[in-house]
Amino acid sequence: MPLPPSPWTFPDPRPAMSDMICVGADLEPSTLITAYRAGLFPMPHGRKRKDIGWWSPNPRGIIPIDGFHESRTLRRARKRFVVTHDQQFTEVMRRCGDPRRPHGWINEPFINAYAMLHHLGWASSTEVVDEAGELVGGVYGVRIDRLFAGESMFHTKTDASKVALAALIERLRDDGIELFDVQWTTPHLVSLGAIDITRDEYLHRLAAATR
């Protein structure tokens, strides 16, 4: 769904010396999409996490759509689960933001904001369900043109987040997505094919993917 223009203008992240570019603005749909198009994403900031910080990491983690590593172990694991898309978006966010998890920073304002993006067709989730019908893994992110900006993923059963990621990448490949942003690389993501690129290279690829 088309969005009205955002009242906010974000600074060019290229000359920034740190990963956090600015603080302020809001979480309205038009603000979020404007920020992602500029190469930024939000996280709570400040001692009470009431402010919004806008980030553009350097280096930036991405997963090349054709660079995902699916091992034989993962292929076997996929047979133990059922994968769905966009069926439990808000619940995936809540599981990702579980305060018992390390870095479980996703709070209610963020859940409400991204749920609205999902309702408007700008955000998507992939869910992994076990044989008992329980949600045991998932990933969510923002889709703009040929960009998918991955936000967070979770699992409560072994390999469930890997299964979610594998299914998501298949979907992105089928949909013609060119750039899969994962913000920062981790050893877990690197094992699945994630790589680091410079901020300048990311912004170059972003411009091509969101023309």
Read off the pLDDT of residues 159-187 as tens digits, 9 standing for 90 and up: 999 999 999 999 999 999 999 999 999 99
Say which residues have a Cβ less than 8 Å from residue 39's Cβ, sequence separation at least 6: 13, 56, 199, 202, 203, 206
Torsion sign across C-alpha atoms 71, 76, 81, 86: positive
The reported pLDDT for the residue numbered 48 is 73
Residue 165 tokens, joined: 């990621």
* Segment 130-137 long-range contacts (CB within 8 Å, at least 24 positions apart): 130/80, 130/81, 130/82, 130/157, 130/160, 131/80, 135/88, 135/91, 135/92, 135/95, 136/81, 136/160, 137/81, 137/161, 137/163, 137/164
Domains and CATH numbers, the chain: 60-209 (3.40.630.70)
Q: Give the tens place of pLDDT for each residue, 56-107.
A: 999 999 999 988 878 888 899 999 999 999 999 999 999 999 888 766 789 9
pLDDT: which is higher, 48 or 145: 145
